[in-house]
Amino acid sequence: MSYVLAMGQQPAGAAQGGLMGMLGMLIPFAVIFVIFWLLLIRPQMKKQKEHQKLLAALKKGDRVVTSSGMFGTIASFNEEKNIVVLKVSEDIKLEFLRSSIAGKVE
């Protein structure tokens, strides 16, 4: 009998797993995927949508902070290149990608 098990074959009386065996193996993977989606993917998608709404609502004169920590006031937009021009001081204007705006400053 140990020779039969060592060869990787089931003894003659053992039942085959079939569909129930397959489902039993797939259920833990499905549960892990659902937990992964609920804890990581869904909150990230929600955060990304909120950031897109923020970027769409920006207008000239808004005070913003970039992802690098630079504060400025929006002076103008270049919609073709997706660039925002920030006025940092009276005579200094810097160009940033619109996506690099991290948030509005109140």
Give residue 35's identity as a one-letter amino acid code. I
Quick one: which of 98, 106, 97, 102 has its CA closest to 67? Answer: 102
Whether 33 shows a pLDDT value over 90: the answer reads yes
Task: Please report, for the domain that includes residue 64, its CATH number.
Answer: 2.30.30.140
Residues in the chain: 106
Full domain range(s) for residue 78:
58-106
Residue 47 domain-assigned (yes or no): no
41-64 confidence digits (pLDDT tens): 999 999 999 999 999 999 999 999
Residue 48 domain-assigned (yes or no): no
- Give the chain's mean pLDDT: 86
Q: Which two tokens stand for residue 55?
A: 């970027």
Quote the pTM value: 0.67
Residue 67 domain-assigned (yes or no): yes
66 burial class (0-12, 13-18, 19+ CB within 10 angstroms)? Answer: middle
Residue 62 domain-assigned (yes or no): yes
Question: Are the CB atoms for 59 and 104 separated by under 8 Å?
Answer: no
Q: How many structural domains does the chain have?
A: 1
Residue 82 domain-assigned (yes or no): yes
Residue 38 domain-assigned (yes or no): no
Residue 96 domain-assigned (yes or no): yes
Cα separations in angstroms, 72 against 4, 54, 56, 67, 69: 76, 16, 18, 12, 10
What percent of the chain has pLDDT above 70? 84
Mean pLDDT of 62-88: 95
Residue 25 domain-assigned (yes or no): no
